[in-house]
Amino acid sequence: MLSIEAFSGARIFTGDRFIDDQAVLVHDGVISDVIAEVAVPSGAIRRQLDGGMLVPGFVDAQVNGGGGALFNERPDIETIARIALAHARHGTTALLPTLITDEPRKMTAAIGAVRDAISSGVPGVIGIHLEGPFLSEARKGAHDPALIRTMNDDDLATLVGTGLETRLLTVATESVSQEQIARLVAGGVIVSLGHTNATCRQALDAAAAGARGVTHLYNAMSPLAHREPGLVGAALECGTLWAGIIADGHHVDPAALRIAIRAKRGPGRLFLVTDAMPTAGDANDQFHLNGRVVTRRNGMLTLEDGTLAGSDLTMDAAVRFAVNALELELAEALRMASLYPAEFLKLDATRGRIAPGFRADLVHLSDALLVKDVWIGGKPVAP
């Protein structure tokens, strides 16, 4: 008979609200019940927490690297495991290893590596995010313009036939047609718009074709103007579009993020992503991206010409920024780190809440929102 574990001693955030004097019962990696502490079965294994709060594990849809490892540099299972562990120590219990624009052979290797990581049970890996190469050179950001290209039928067949359940693809309207978006979506791919000069109308047409999201709102996209709202305007106005935000104080001014949060039309929402690079959770201040040097200075990652190249962010730091700089209520900041990205990725039947039937992906936070302990599928993550 499998044992039941009981987590108690902390406030519990269910994904909807905070509750006190309750315990979370976990059986075989799944939450079986949330009950009063005094009602915990006598035979349960007690996991007594020292105050703080127990919250749903964070879900990150955009992780390029961490712990000194970069997915583009070496797309294999060892790199993925190293990245996942680095972010798990900061509360991320589910993530998409993200490959930015690269050669076709690198894309093939990345897809195979993620498939192997999931089949091997690497904790926290739930799928893949391909950010490019089907982007716009005009909004390339740190992507290598020599590798950006338009999508063809072979590319589409590869993306639909990965064998992965969760596939996120960032595209530009300049490089992918509405028909291709519709075919990708019909094949189970989640399509996000980014690195594009799309007009508002073009973005709305892409949404009508099935595009579901916008990649790192404000960054590397057509801006909001009073006569041409651009992709930023489409993201905020279109209720079916979700959008990730990099809440680190470098990618977007806090005032612009606060405005976007207030303006976003639902049911789609804004959610937190890290866009993290190898420096996240690592002491080294430099790494190479497509042969170019990226340097960390004062928490900001840039190429030699000053172009932003991903972030040094972890999800727990993003939550703290959302509360302290964006002035969000704690419950909403936590939802932006867990429930909303789970909903965007269509994984909210098992992730993003502390409730019966959900995975026991749990984070114990201090009152200062520092990570104390993490569990993925009920198993503790090494500190």
DSSP symbol at 72: T
Instruction: Give the CA dihedral 297, 299, 303, 304, nearest 10 degrees.
Output: -10
Residue type, 175: S
Residue 17: closest CA among 354, 246, 366, 304 = 354
Q: How far apart are CA 126 and CA 115, in angstroms?
A: 9
Residue 311: closest CA among 57, 59, 61, 63 = 63
Structural Rg of the chain based on CA atoms: 20
Other residues' Cβ atoms within 10 Å of the Cβ of residue 371: 23
DSSP result, 164-175: -S-EEEEE-TTT
- The reply to whether 154 belongs to the active site is no
Cis peptide before 267 (omega within 30 of 0): yes
DSSP symbol at 134: S
Q: Which of 102, 275, 282, 361 is catalytic?
A: 275
**Sign of the alpha-carbon torsion through 140, 232, 348, 325:** positive
DSSP symbol at 382: P
- The residue whose two tokens read 């690079």 is 277
Q: How far apart are CA 8 and CA 48, in angstroms?
A: 5
**Sign of the alpha-carbon torsion through 353, 361, 214, 158:** negative
- Residue 322 φ then ψ, to 5°: -60, -35
CA distances from 10 to 22, 52, 319, 350, 363 (A): 8, 5, 19, 22, 11
Residues with catalytic roles? 275
